[in-house]
Amino acid sequence: MKSENKIVAETEKTVTISIEEYEALQELKAENARLNQQVQWLLEGIKLSRRKLFGASSEKSSVSEQLSFLFNEAEVYEDQAAAQEEESVSVAAHERKRRSGSVKDVLPENVPVDVVEHRIPEEERICDECGTVMQEIGKEVRRTLQIIPAQVRIREDWYYTYACQTCKDEAEHTPVVKAAKEPAVIPGSFASPEAIAQIMVQKFVMGSPLYRQEQELERMGVHLSRQTMSNWILRAAQDWLKPVYDCMHRELVKRQVLHADETTLQVLHEPGKSAHTDSYMWLYRTSGDTGRHIVLYEYQPNRKAEHPKEFLKDFSGYLHTDGYKGYHTLPEGIRVVGCWAHARRYFDEALKVLPAAQRNSSQVHKGWAYCNQLFAVEDKLKKCSPEERYNQRQKKAKPILDAFLRWAQSRNAAPQSAFGKAIHYLLEQWLYLTAYLEDGRLEISNNRAERSIKPFVIDRKNFLFANTPGGAQGSAIIFSMIETAKENGLDPYKYLLHILQTAPAMDLKQDVQLLLPWNVQMNK
């Protein structure tokens, strides 16, 4: 009991200090709080960087996680139960073909089949019992898959000349007729459409830089330099692909709903810039409201807003983008639609830097769950018509958005913290994030553009940089042809080959639309 009284007595002691010492103490406390907050921000950054390097990148979550933290209304759980019932019925009705391991299961139907027959000579088919010749009564078939490496051939086109021998002997003038020549894809060169299309596909689809293709050809005994291959693909892109690209551009800006995105690119010899300065590859594409898809890349030396303004000068409608402010300065005829995937990503990152035990009860989790609830609404509306989607969004998504905004405005998070950045992005972008409610054709995110720009980002890891601005723009044109072909269900090699074989003999000023993916007559 004496020790307890002593403790109380000690805690009740007061110390008299001067005003200067008191003010210094307060300053130290404020500095300590500031440093603790800064340490917390740095720890969040370190955790987030580690997760980006080594952790899973998926932001997906289950429906129960999306709903359980936010809502307790009976109708929510009824919708959830109905969704689970629909899912179980769908899974039960789904029939999945079991693969037998046969070569037929891994190949399309039109693959040529080479038949090799193995027969026994007649003299070896003499029956040991009676001496008669055995007759064929059946066969056993073994199928194997043969993959033949790329072959190198030389094509010689012989154009014959004809003259009238009678006129040559009896007349002053001898009529001469020459076989019509097919125009060369590159005049004066031994390049062929097949070779150019193959090099393009290997580089821009398979991610094989020209120096690797040069090495592979060298092993086959073909001494074709990367400089020659580069000249071929850039010349063909400028002469034959760019007119198609320009036609696609004119078609693109006629649409009412588009997507845009951009990513960095290093160009070594950019006038007025060092080799390490970032340039940009911009992407513009159609939305899901059309069956005629267009995906266009455009190279620019910087990220200034003047570039999308120029590229989209003839466009009027909705433009899906991320949060880059440069898009917000576009003309009034362009209504920018924000990306909820970006907004959710901020909350997802803020959630991941919290200790696991604190996540489900945190305010960050509540913001993250609001985002997931919006995506859950969209998942149920995928098969709806634009009109029905618009109506359902007003009924189901708008109340969630209103509640989300009230909640976000009441938060008081540190601006530099991960949670504070998520709230700031949400409120700053709110006008654009809610624009998708205005039209049923619009999408909740800009993931469509991100998926289209991903092939370029992946290939960039292989070729690392472009040598010149001309090479970067040539790459943009080729990427555009390839990704547009893929979006329309065409084989990129066959589509490029079709253009390179057909365009040299066409009047591209009048007939270029015949080369658009949905107009070409070719096997997919």
Q: Which tens digits make up the pLDDT trace of 68-113?
A: 444 443 344 344 444 444 444 444 444 555 555 666 677 777 788 8
pLDDT of residue 463: 67
pLDDT of residue 462: 73
- Write out the E strands in 307-356: 317-320, 334-337
Q: Which two tokens stand for residue 365?
A: 């989790």
Q: Which residues pair with 299 in a beta bridge?
A: 281
pLDDT of residue 66: 43
Q: Which residues pair with 300 in a beta bridge?
A: 280
Least confident of 52-56, 151-155, 389-393: 52-56
What's the pLDDT band for 442 if we cut at 50, 70, 90? very high
User: Taking the CB of residue 54, how many other CB atoms lie within 10 A of it?
Assistant: 7
User: Taking the CB of residue 249, how many other CB atoms lie within 10 A of it?
Assistant: 17
Q: How far apart are CA 426 and CA 86, in angstroms?
A: 33
Q: What is the mean pLDDT of residues 143-155?
A: 84
Note the pLDDT tens digit of each residue in 201-217: 999 999 899 999 999 99
Residues whose CB falls within 8 Å of the CB of residue 393, separated by 6 or more in sequence, listed in order: 377, 381, 436, 437, 440
Note the pLDDT tens digit of each residue in 231-268: 999 999 999 999 999 999 999 999 999 999 999 988 88
Averaged confidence pLDDT in the chain: 85
The distance of Cα 175 from the centroid of its chain, to the nearest Å, equals 59
Terminal C-alpha separation, the chain: 92
3-state secondary structure 199-234: HHHHHHCCCCCHHHHHHHHHHCCCCCCHHHHHHHHH
Residues whose CB falls within 8 Å of the CB of residue 173, separated by 6 or more in sequence, listed in order: 167
Q: Which two tokens stand for residue 488?
A: 């329309």
Q: Which two tokens stand for residue 35?
A: 């440093």
Q: Which two tokens stand for residue 110?
A: 């039109």
Contact (CB, 8 A) for 340 and 44: no
- Taking alpha carbons only, the member of 367, 346, 336 closest to residue 436 is 336
pLDDT of residue 62: 47
Contact (CB, 8 A) for 60 and 344: no
CA dihedral 336, 339, 340, 341 (to 10 degrees): 180
Q: What is the mean pLDDT of residues 334-357?
A: 94
> Order of strands across the sheet with 278-286?
295-300, 278-286, 257-266, 317-320, 334-337
Q: What is the mean pLDDT of residues 112-117?
A: 90
pLDDT of residue 98: 53
494 pLDDT exceeds 90? Answer: yes
C-alpha count within 13 angstroms, C-beta hemisphere, residue 61: 24
| Residues above pLDDT 90, as percent of the chain | 60
Q: How far apart are CA 352 and CA 343, in angstroms?
A: 15
3-state helix, strand, coil in the chain (%, to 5): 55, 10, 40
pLDDT of residue 329: 94
Longest dimension (CA), the chain: 145
Q: Which two tokens stand for residue 486?
A: 């893929």
Give 126's DSSP letter: B
Q: Which two tokens stand for residue 345?
A: 């990503």
Residues whose CB falls within 8 Å of the CB of residue 10, separated by 6 or more in sequence, listed in order: none
- List, as one string, the DSSP characters of 424-436: HHHHHTHHHHTGG
The SS3 of residue 112 is coil
Q: How far apart are CA 51 and CA 49, in angstroms?
A: 5
Question: Interior CA angle at 112 toward 110 and 118, to 5°?
Answer: 140
pLDDT of residue 88: 43
For the chain, counts of helices (H) and of strands (E): 21, 7
Length of the chain: 524
21 pLDDT exceeds 90? Answer: no
At what angle are helices 469-487 and 242-252 packed, to 10 degrees? 60
- Taking alpha carbons only, the member of 287, 284, 261 closest to residue 386 is 287
Give 277's DSSP letter: S
Q: How far apart are CA 426 and CA 323, in angstroms?
A: 10
Q: Residue 57 phi/psi, 5° resolution?
A: -90, -10
